Structure formats: C-alpha cells, structure tokens
Amino acid sequence: MYQLTVKETRGLQTWKLNIGEKAPRCPSSFQSERNELKLAAIFFPDNSLKELFKTILLESTHNYFSFQVEKIDAENLKEEETQTITIFKGMDVVPDSGRELVLHMVTGQFLAPAVYKKGCGHFHTPGGEARPYMIKEWAYQDELNNVLGLKAVDPEKLKELNKRADKDKGENGINPEKLFEMILEGITQIFPEAKVTVRKS
C-alpha cells in the first residue's frame, strides 16, 4: 500500500491519504503551491485525492506544501484516510493563565513569548498587550517546542548567556559624551561657518 503525506512547508498540519497498491507515476517527494492545489481541486475528477486538496484548502491558510509518497506496511495501515495534527488553538479556547504562549497574528506574524492573564483577560508580550481581535490562533510554547523537537539550553548555560548579554549591553551602551560629539560634528558639517561654543560644567 502506498500513502501520500502532505505537510505545510512552514507549518505544523499534516494530512495523509492511502492511494492504492500501485506506485503512482510521480516523484516520491515534491512541493506545490496553494494556487496549484486550487486548480487541482477544480479540474481533477471526483476522487479521494480531489477531496484531500479541498480539505487542505479549507483547513490551512499556508501557501506552500510538501508532498511525499511512501510505501507502508499493511499492518500499520490506519483506518482513517486523513489525519490532521493541530497544535494551535482558536480564540474560542481560553489559554491557561500565566502559561507561555506563541501567538499567530492575523497578519501572519508570530509573537512570543506571550502570557494570558485571567485577571485582566489580556495577552501580554514584551512589546505590550496584543489585541485579541488581531490574534488568529495560539499555542502553548512548550507543546510547540515538543512538536518541533526544540529544547531550551540547560539552566547553567542560560545563566551564563544572560550574564554575557548584560555585559555586552553595558559595553555597547550609549556614551553621552560620545553622542554629544557626534551631534556637534554633524552640526559643524551642516553649518561650516557657524561657531559652536561648548560650555562644560
């Protein structure tokens, strides 16, 4: 039995379809764009593949998808022809208060880390509050990391990196005297005949 697996190139959703006993006449792996799926959903004859494309177009907003055809063992064959793995949750689901989140905005951007606070009902990010109507969906940071196979560095390494960051910040901080000299130099270049007097207290 051969199985077709379709994945979002930059997403998490996956769909599977059993396509029969014979190997299809196509590459074992390839990529396709959303517009191509739309054309296939219109012009393909009515079959399970066409229905799969329709399902993908309904469930995903991504523009690029990867396809893979592989032979599978009949004993491990699942009864369901399609399978969707969903980590992100819609705004109709209220996240746990205080737990770190990844926000997927309606603009297509991702904001992280974010925290939902039950007391005020707001989503807080390092840049301020994220407006709920601008959030398309959200996921728990730890669950997303597990799915993607991402692991944070150990606490000792993180402590060392934070110290290094603080040191770099101090070294690269703004020097008031240097800044004043740069401004003074700029004024002199713009007004070469001007006489600038500096009074130091």
Output the pLDDT for position 75: 57
pLDDT band for 196, please (50, 70, 90 cuts).
low
pLDDT of residue 77: 53
The Cα–Cα gap between 136 and 103 comes to 8
Check if the beta carbon of residue 77 is closer than 8 Å to that of residue 48: no
The predicted pLDDT at position 173 comes to 56
pLDDT tens, 14-64? Answer: 998 888 778 777 788 889 999 999 998 888 888 888 899 999 998 888 999
pLDDT at 197 over 80: no
> Does residue 132 have a cis peptide bond before it, meaning omega lies within 30 degrees of 0?
no
pLDDT tens digits along 124-154: 998 889 989 999 999 998 888 877 777 777 7
Q: How far is CA 146 from CA 96, 139, 141, 152, 157, in A?
A: 18, 12, 9, 11, 20
pLDDT of residue 80: 45
Q: Which residue has the higher pLDDT, 87 or 199?
A: 87
Rounded to two decimals, what is the model's pTM?
Answer: 0.44
Rounded-to-integer distance, Cα 142 and Cα 130, Å: 20
pLDDT in tens, 61-87: 899 999 999 887 765 555 444 444 578
Give the tens place of pLDDT for each residue, 94-122.
999 999 999 999 988 899 999 999 888 89
